[in-house]
Structure formats: structure tokens, C-alpha cells
Amino acid sequence: MEFFQLSEDIGASPLPILNCGMACEYNSGELCPLDQLQPYIQDALDLVEFANGDANTVWGAKRAALGHPEPFHLKMLGVGNEQFDLCQRGQG
């Protein structure tokens, strides 16, 4: 929420970076198996709904409850290997 508010306050377009289920090759090079990608996909969908969803949606209602009923107008997402860890796959 604070990231979106800051972006709005300074007139910037928010660009959150989401994990794609892949660790940096210089760290461990681990990959999330394709059949276990759904949590990463759902995180992205939930973030978009939080940022842009109508206040009648699950995540849009959470944003509205936090005091921002209007959407943040998210237009872009970055997808990378940020903060990948085995705990996200239930193995840590």
C-alpha cells in the first residue's frame, strides 16, 4: 500500500517487481517447477486486483478499507527473480 501511495504522491507510475519462481544463477540457479507456479501467478493477479480492482472485489475492497477506494491505475509489472526462496514453495 505504501509503495502505491508514494508513487501516487510523487506523480510516478508504480512498477512493482514480482518473483517468477527463479533464483539468480549466481546464487543457486533454482527454478520452481512449472506445476508449482500457481502461487506466483496468483500473487501477481492479487496485486493487480489490489491496485486496480473495483472496491467490490476481494483485493479492491482491502485497498478501500485501507483508505484508498479509488484504483491506483497500475499499468506495468516487472517480473524477475527477486527474493526467491524455497519457503515460497513450501520446502523451507
What pLDDT is stored for residue 7 in this prediction? Answer: 96
Q: Domain total for the chain?
A: 1
User: What range does the domain containing 14 cover?
Assistant: 2-89
- Whether 82 sits among the annotated catalytic residues: the reply is yes
pLDDT along the chain (92 residues), means of 10: 96 91 71 86 95 97 98 92 54 45
Q: What is the pLDDT of residue 29?
A: 67
What's the pLDDT at 87? 47
Provide the pLDDT for residue 2.
95
Q: Which of 30, 49, 70, 82 is catalytic?
A: 82
Confirm if 72 and 9 have CB atoms less than 8 A apart. no
Task: Burial-class residue 60 by CB neighbours within 10 Å (0-12, 13-18, 19+).
Answer: buried
pTM: 0.80
